């Protein structure tokens, strides 16, 4: 349809126009491996408009001609349920333009189900080449395949391919070039029952007599499936609809179960094709995968092994990423030190570049090691087949509130850092669970929240209640986000996401060694996506936040007068430069804003210093400890273990002399940090993964609201109790 709106392509189109080839098939049929083998590193990752579905395409060259391949999302049928499937069907139906050739990736080891989709596809697409994958699995099982028979049943060329070994890839390219040069006419008939096709013929006749064009296939579709798109043409016309209804009665009788009939006909055909083209092994041996699975999905060993794997993964992220992050941090300082003197003449530019851009972008790139390491483990676990087992084991635990077993990895990753957590939500095949997981992942207590907990627990809880309670508080803080996430998911599931729910379906693939090439490609493409985000969105936000804290420039002579009127004891704790910096920030746009909204945070027990620290930490919550250092007058160069900051916090008071940091205020502040979305990199990642600012804004608003409500509630309960 959209084609008719376009200007026609001028005749004699330039030869550079690449024919598009769609790679279609069931999930797990080996599509991605084949895509990687065809295109290598020449891949582009984008998004389909309006949905979170990634558009993956790439080029390959064969005998001087360049072709564009689209890796269409995996499909089970041409009746889409999820957005991913809708996108896939749209691509096949010619949005934005119909592919010149469909390469159907057919899993030889799972022929019947893979042929179901083929039977639907072959009704509308005539130019098809079949890439037959996983024939090595058949060989291993001892089954024999008759390629000629399979090809004659399917009515098109069938090329066996073992993509990761490069076997058959060249032959496939040749077959593709042949099919593009002389498109084939494929007319597949799976053999629907006579009663169905007779009724379809009568409907066609009737419609044709009335001057309504209707094909036999469409008539059959209307008869067997009320939801068929062709039905819409007739539903509004009572006299035509009556004819269809009558024939439906004839075909289906009282049961009205047309889809059953449709599926039965297709599967009967698929079973026959399989029987004719594959000779099963004489005896079926228990496969290695089944032996391994006996332990790895066992109710005791399976769970223990799972916990062990997860512990190993996150322990290595923690220990391996640390040194790399230090290196990046040192690099950031080195770059800043290198650039700073070059801009000495222009202080505004110097501050913009050093404090704004290098600091802002640098503090995000520091997460790159975590992302690389996490995606290394994810792609290895996925490549071996274990990730699917983990989802199988965990599904019940996460399923009851509306998530599914696959959400496990993103949520667990988010305890280290929400950015890789959000990015890894792509392991989920349907958009709804993906968005839901992306939205709650930032509630998990990431490692950047830890310094705040340590600082406040060390300053307030431990001195009063002892080490045991301090330890318990730290532990409890990590559960706050998780506990809040459950009702959030329940509400999202009921209230925000409406419409069809995809059933949970999962296939446990055979165990195998990961393909290192695929692992490498996954890591590099994820790292690239992350760096592009850091270089664009985060760059822009860093500049904005810098400007809000930098302008207007302070009145240094006035600050100096104020400083000289301070008591000598106070002057000991803070130098003139620190004091000027503090006052300048206080009077910057952001600082004024902090003061202005202090009344709003007063019910939570926060004074303007805490409020400004919170505001300053919105771009990245790591900033909060240095910000508190500046605001409480001990200078920005502090960490959570700094004695001076701890005692400054303990001694801090409201103007009327009441202590500021009561245990309730500490708790309220920690819960605020636990729930609030103070991380622009996470928001940028959410935007990137959901392909819309809407969900990033949603996450920001709901988390900030929750944080505010909870911290006010805690403070108010505290007031009532004491």
Partner 1 sequence: MEKVLTSKELRKGMKARVATVEEGEDPCTRLMELGLIPGTEFSVTKVAPLGDPIEIEMRGYKLCLRRTETECLRFVELP
Contacting residues toward partner 1, per CB under 8 A: 76-77, 79, 81, 109-113, 116, 256-260, 263-264, 267, 271, 274, 293, 297-300, 302-303, 392-393, 395-397, 399, 405, 500-508
- The phi and psi torsions of 579 (rounded to 5 degrees) equal -65, -40
Smallest distance from partner 1 to CB 305, Å: 11
Smallest distance from partner 1 to CB 290, Å: 8
Please give the sequence-ordered ranges of beta strands (E in DSSP) within 215-344, or none if there are none.
278-279
Smallest distance from partner 1 to CB 110, Å: 4
Smallest distance from partner 1 to CB 504, Å: 5
Other residues' Cβ atoms within 10 Å of the Cβ of residue 55: 17
What span, in angstroms and rounded, lies between the C-alpha atoms of 23 and 43?
A: 14
Q: Which is nearer to partner 1, 267 or 465 (CB)?
A: 267
Q: Which is nearer to partner 1, 212 or 304 (CB)?
A: 304
Q: Which is nearer to partner 1, 301 or 516 (CB)?
A: 301
Q: Which is nearer to partner 1, 326 or 507 (CB)?
A: 507
Q: Which is nearer to partner 1, 224 or 470 (CB)?
A: 224
Q: Which is nearer to partner 1, 290 or 562 (CB)?
A: 290
Smallest distance from partner 1 to CB 658, Å: 51
Smallest distance from partner 1 to CB 456, Å: 37
Q: Which is nearer to partner 1, 45 or 263 (CB)?
A: 263
Q: Which residue intervals of 643-692 are DSSP H helices?
A: 643-651, 663-675, 680-690
What span, in angstroms and rounded, lies between the C-alpha atoms of 417 and 448?
A: 8
Identify whether the C-beta of residue 131 lies closer than 8 Å to the C-beta of residue 151: no
Smallest distance from partner 1 to CB 302, Å: 6
Q: Which of 383, 704, 335, 353 is nearest to 520 (CA)?
A: 383
What span, in angstroms and rounded, lies between the C-alpha atoms of 520 and 526?
A: 10
The SS3 call for residue 327 is: helix
What span, in angstroms and rounded, lies between the C-alpha atoms of 534 and 486?
A: 30
CA-to-CA dists, residue 214 to 95, 119, 618, angstroms: 23, 20, 60
The residue to which tokens 């431990």 are assigned: 462
Q: Which is nearer to partner 1, 260 or 319 (CB)?
A: 260
Q: Which is nearer to partner 1, 297 or 384 (CB)?
A: 297
What span, in angstroms and rounded, lies between the C-alpha atoms of 617 and 138?
A: 57
Smallest distance from partner 1 to CB 195, Å: 17
Smallest distance from partner 1 to CB 217, Å: 18
- Give the list of residues 6+ apart from residue 91 with CB closer than 8 angstroms, or none: 22, 70, 72, 99
- Given strand 158-160, what is the order of strands in its sheet? 43-47, 54-62, 65-71, 20-25, 101-107, 128-133, 158-160
- The phi and psi torsions of 101 (rounded to 5 degrees) equal -150, 140
Question: Which residues sit opposite 446 in a β-bridge?
Answer: none
Q: Which is nearer to partner 1, 506 or 527 (CB)?
A: 506
Other residues' Cβ atoms within 10 Å of the Cβ of residue 427: 20
Smallest distance from partner 1 to CB 458, Å: 39
- Give the list of residues 6+ apart from residue 213 with CB closer than 8 angstroms, or none: 207
What span, in angstroms and rounded, lies between the C-alpha atoms of 392 and 25?
A: 23
Q: Which is nearer to partner 1, 222 or 537 (CB)?
A: 222
Q: Which is nearer to partner 1, 80 or 98 (CB)?
A: 80
- Give the list of residues 6+ apart from residue 712 with CB closer than 8 angstroms, or none: 603, 604, 668
Question: Which residues sit opposite 62 in a β-bridge?
Answer: 65
Smallest distance from partner 1 to CB 511, Å: 13
Smallest distance from partner 1 to CB 259, Å: 6
The alpha carbon of residue 60 and the mean position of all alpha carbons in its chain are separated, in whole angstroms, by 27
Identify whether the C-beta of residue 101 lies closer than 8 Å to the C-beta of residue 181: no
What span, in angstroms and rounded, lies between the C-alpha atoms of 215 and 667?
A: 69
Smallest distance from partner 1 to CB 295, Å: 12
Q: Which is nearer to partner 1, 341 or 503 (CB)?
A: 503
Q: Which is nearer to partner 1, 217 or 510 (CB)?
A: 510
Tokens of 321: 């990423």
Smallest distance from partner 1 to CB 501, Å: 6
- The phi and psi torsions of 193 (rounded to 5 degrees) equal -55, 150
Smallest distance from partner 1 to CB 702, Å: 27
Other residues' Cβ atoms within 10 Å of the Cβ of residue 230: 16
Q: Which is nearer to partner 1, 79 or 647 (CB)?
A: 79
Looking only at the bridges linking them, the beta strands covering 278-279 and 144-145 are: antiparallel
What span, in angstroms and rounded, lies between the C-alpha atoms of 419 and 414?
A: 7
């Amino acid at each position: 349809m959209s084609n008719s709106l376009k200007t026609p392509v001028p005749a004699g189109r330039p030869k550079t126009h690449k024919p598009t080839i769609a790679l279609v098939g069931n999930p797990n049929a080996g599509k991605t491996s084949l895509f990687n083998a065809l295109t290598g590193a020449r891949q582009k990752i984008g998004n389909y408009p309006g949905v979170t579905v990634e558009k993956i395409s790439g080029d390959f060259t064969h005998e001087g001609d360049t072709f564009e391949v689209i890796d269409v999302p995996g499909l089970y049928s041409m009746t889409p349920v999820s957005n991913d499937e809708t996108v896939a069907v749209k691509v096949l139906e010619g949005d934005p333009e119909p592919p010149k050739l469909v390469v159907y990736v057919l899993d030889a080891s799972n022929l019947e189900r893979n042929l179901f989709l083929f039977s639907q596809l072959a009704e509308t697409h005539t130019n098809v080449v079949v890439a037959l994958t996983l024939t090595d699995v058949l060989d291993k099982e001892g089954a024999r395949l008759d390629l000629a028979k399979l090809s004659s049943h399917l009515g098109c060329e069938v090329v066996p391919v073992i993509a990761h070994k490069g076997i058959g890839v060249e032959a496939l390219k040749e077959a593709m070039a042949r099919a593009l040069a002389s498109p084939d006419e494929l007319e597949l008939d799976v053999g629907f029952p006579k009663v169905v096709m007779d009724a379809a013929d009568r409907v066609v006749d009737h419609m044709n007599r009335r001057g309504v064009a209707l094909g036999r296939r469409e008539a059959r579709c209307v008869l067997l499936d009320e939801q068929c798109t062709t039905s819409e043409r007739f539903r509004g016309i009572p006299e035509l609809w009556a004819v269809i209804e009558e024939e439906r009665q004839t075909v289906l009788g009282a049961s009205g179960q047309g889809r059953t009939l449709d599926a039965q006909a297709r599967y009967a055909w698929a079973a026959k094709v399989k029987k004719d083209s594959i000779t099963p092994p004489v005896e079926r041996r228990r496969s290695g995968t089944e032996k391994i699975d006996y332990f790895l999905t066992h109710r005791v060993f399976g769970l223990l092994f799972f916990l062990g794997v997860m512990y190993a993964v996150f322990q290595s992220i923690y220990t391996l990423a640390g040194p790399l992050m230090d290196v990046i941090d040192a690099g950031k300082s080195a770059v800043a030190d290198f650039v700073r003197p070059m801009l000495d003449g222009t202080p505004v530019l110097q501050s913009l570049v050093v404090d704004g851009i290098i600091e802002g972008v640098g503090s995000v790139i520091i997460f790159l090691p975590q992302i690389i390491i996490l995606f290394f483990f994810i792609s290895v676990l996925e490549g071996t087949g274990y990730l699917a087992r983990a989802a199988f084991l965990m599904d019940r635990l996460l399923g009851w509130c509306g998530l599914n077993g696959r959400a496990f990895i993103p949520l667990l990753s988010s305890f280290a850092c929400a950015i890789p957590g959000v990015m890894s939500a792509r392991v989920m095949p349907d958009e709804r669970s993906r968005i839901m997981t992306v939205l709650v992942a930032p509630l998990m207590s990431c490692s950047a929240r830890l310094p705040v907990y340590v600082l406040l627990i060390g300053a307030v809880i431990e001195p009063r209640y002892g080490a045991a309670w301090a330890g318990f508080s730290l532990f409890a803080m990590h559960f706050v986000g998780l506990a809040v996430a459950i009702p959030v998911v329940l509400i999202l599931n009921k209230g925000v996401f409406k419409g069809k729910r995809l059933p949970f379906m999962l296939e446990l693939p055979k165990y195998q060694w990961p393909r290192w090439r695929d692992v490498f490609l996954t890591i590099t493409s994820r790292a690239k996506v992350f760096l592009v985000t850091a270089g664009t969105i985060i760059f822009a936000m860093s500049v904005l936040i810098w400007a809000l804290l930098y302008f207007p420039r302070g009145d240094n002579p006035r600050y100096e007068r104020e400083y000289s009127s301070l008591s000598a004891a106070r002057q000991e704790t803070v130098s003139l430069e620190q004091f000027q910096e503090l006052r300048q920030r206080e009077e910057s746009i952001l600082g004024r804003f902090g003061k202005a909204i202090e009344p709003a945070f007063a019910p939570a027990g926060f004074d303007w210093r805490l409020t400004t620290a919170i505001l300053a930490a919105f771009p990245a919550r790591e900033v909060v400890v240095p910000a508190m250092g500046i605001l409480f007058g001990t200078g920005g160069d502090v960490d959570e273990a700094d004695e001076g900051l701890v005692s400054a916090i303990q001694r801090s008071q409201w103007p009327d002399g009441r202590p500021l940091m009561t245990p309730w205020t500490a708790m309220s502040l920690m819960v605020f940090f636990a729930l609030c979305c103070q991380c622009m990199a996470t928001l940028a990642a959410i935007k990137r993964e959901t392909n819309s600012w809407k969900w990033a804004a949603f996450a920001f608003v709901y988390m900030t609201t929750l944080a505010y409500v909870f911290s006010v509630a805690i403070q108010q309960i505290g007031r009532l109790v004491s």
